[in-house]
Chains A and B, each alone.
Chain A
Amino acid sequence: MSVSSKHPPKQLKRHWFQILLALADQDQHGLGIMNEVLERTGGAMRLWPGMLYGSLKLMTEQGLILETAAPAEAESGGGRPRYYRITDDGRGALVAEVKRLSAFVDAARAKNLLDDVDRA
């Protein structure tokens, strides 16, 4: 039984956004997600185990991601880990969030704040 509403929140939590982004192009297990998020954020966002698996559980319940079979070669110390795959709802929520954020970037660009970046 789902604890929360089936509808994803309008604005994704920061770490949910990062988890969905990590799953956007490939299925991953929890450790892989943590490492990718850590790398992409330059070490600024470390997903500690409680936060990571608590979020994965909630996101699964809300239909943003789903658990999927682990590849045969995926064997780790604690047995075959759970893999997660982004769902259509999850992809929709991710794209919506990216659009929301890119609107801010566009606004910044309109104010010539990103000239240096654009020239490079």
Chain B
Amino acid sequence: MRFATSRRLYRLALLLYPTEFRRRYAAEMEQVFVESLDTFTSRRRLLGPPYVWANILWDTVIRATTERVFVIRRKLGLGAAGKPPHKRGTGLDAFLKDLRYAVRTLRKSPAFTAVVVLSLALGIGATSTIFSAVNPILLRPLPFADPDRLVYVSENSAERPNARRIPTAVTSLEWTEHNEAFEQIEWVIGATRVHTYTYPGDVGPERYEVQWVSSGLFHMLGVEPMLGRNFVAEDNEYANGSWGVILSYGFWQQRFGGDPDILGQTWGNQVVIGVMSPGFRIFPWNEANFWEPLGDIASVAENPNAVRWYEPIGRLKRGVSKEGAQAQLDALARGLDRSGVSAESGWRVRVEPLHEFASRSYASNLYLLLGAAVLLLLIACSNVASLLMGRATTRHHEITTRAALGAGRLRLMRQLLTESVVLALSGGVLGVLLAQVGTRLFVILAPRMVPARRRDPRRRHGSRVHAGTLAADRDSLRDGPGAPRLQPRSSRIPQARGEGLGWGIAPVRP
């Protein structure tokens, strides 16, 4: 479909209209919009879409406000003819007049209006874009059951605090047997990075991104496949010449065309036992095509080539803190050192919340970006404040004249406030649109941080960001026009890709 993105954005803009009006005219208005976009794009090429959008935004804000005022008047039973004469010039009528006057005044100073609206839009757009990235990565809890009790366990060098490594399978098995802090410990190969692996396909070798997981991992995370079943202990056995695998939703759609009869199908030496829900991934940064059981860890734990593949993820018992678990594992590690089971001394066990592990590689970068964006917004707001003050000075004569003609102080304040509201609202709407574009750019420019180009078809959070941002815009207008503070509540962006820990080992099928 032509102009698919613009159509979606315009549908969002149409939300500003009253529901009744939207239901009646939205489809045809969209056609008119597309026709205009088509005409100007072919006529002005690159300048066409911005020109159309600038006009459309103006048209939408003004008309939607007018229609909403009509609705309110209708509810109050105030027709133009039915209004008592002594009420004219107050309330909604006055607001409409203020609005028209504000629009006329601002149109007479296009440069001033453009600078203010663009400043606000840039500040709001940048902050919203970065917040859209920060929110799902740093602020939103992991999408697992009881995520506060999930921890990632690694080993930390006593001499070099930044040096980490995966504990050996022997060590982590010891933990499961001797500790009282964990309810359950499970393992994954490829937590830090998904491994690309070549499989014999039907028509030749095919390369896939795979994660190997212990059979209880998904149960522990509280995740169930959308189709089929979860792994069970029997899946650790290589049975009948095939491994049971669980597909990601995206891979199921791309490789198998979303075949509803996928369960039980075999390709290569994999047999499909389940399909995960859209968007599921263990860590935000890695998108596996499918998951395989990693086999019986106990039987391979002694394999010297396999010692540091199995990355343990644990669920703490209720009431056990991270520090408590840390102390228990430390004591256990000292015992292991003395008995000589642990390969090296000088390494300390490190228990960290899974959420921290999932975000630590890029948290500082994202906070830095967010700080920069907020600064940009502050700069934009101070610029706008300066411009408004400068303009107030030049309008001294006009305001004095209006006061001399009988306008009260409240009336004048209301007029100036209306102008600020119009400016802030225009900046806010344009900022939301910029944030939509910025989010896409962010995905393109920082794919290592945001591997979201493969979007999940069922996840559409755009309208929620939009609604959240507009709600914030409304709040900011209420608290202080001219300085909107937009914060989207959620977003469909972005899942982040972390840097590897630097010690990924090419896995061998167990």
Contact = CB atoms under 8 A, between A and B. Distances in A.
A54 B63 contact: yes
A5 B63 contact: no
Interface string A66-90: 0000000000111101100000000
A2 B78 CA distance: 11
Given A31-B35, A48-B55, A78 B28 contact: yes
Contact of A57 (B25, B56, B73, B79): B25
Contacts of A82: 28
Interface stretch (B64-72, B95-103, B389-397, B470-478): B64-72
A5 B81 CA distance: 6
Interface of A: 1-5, 29-31, 34-35, 46-54, 57, 76-79, 81-82
A4 B80 contact: yes
Given A3-B79, A31-B35, A51 B63 contact: yes
Interface residues of B, number: 28
Contacts of B178: none
B253 interface: no
Given A48-B36, A50-B63, A57-B21, A4 B31 contact: no
Interface in B266-289: none
Contact of B31 (A1, A51, A81): A81
B146 interface: no
B31 A3 contact: no
The 6 A-B pairs of least Cβ separation, nearest first, read A50-B63, A78-B27, A49-B29, A48-B59, A50-B59, A53-B25
Contacts of B35: 31, 34-35
Contacts of B32: 30-31, 34, 47-49, 52-53
B31 A50 contact: no
A117 B410 CA distance: 55
Contacts of A30: 25, 28-29, 31-32
Tell me what chain B mostly uses at the interface: helix, strand, loop, or mixed. helix
B62 A3 contact: no
21 contacts: A3-B70, A3-B74, A3-B80, A4-B79, A4-B80, A30-B28, A34-B32, A46-B36, A46-B55, A48-B56, A49-B25, A49-B56, A50-B17, A50-B63, A52-B29, A53-B32, A57-B21, A76-B31, A77-B31, A78-B28, A79-B27
B108 to A, nearest CB: 19
B230 interface: no
A53 B29 contact: yes
A98 B73 CA distance: 33
A31 B80 contact: no
A50 B80 contact: no
A81 to B, nearest CB: 5
Contacts of B64: 50
Contacts of A81: 28, 31
A78 B63 contact: no
Contacts of B21: 53, 57
A6 to B, nearest CB: 9
B33 interface: yes
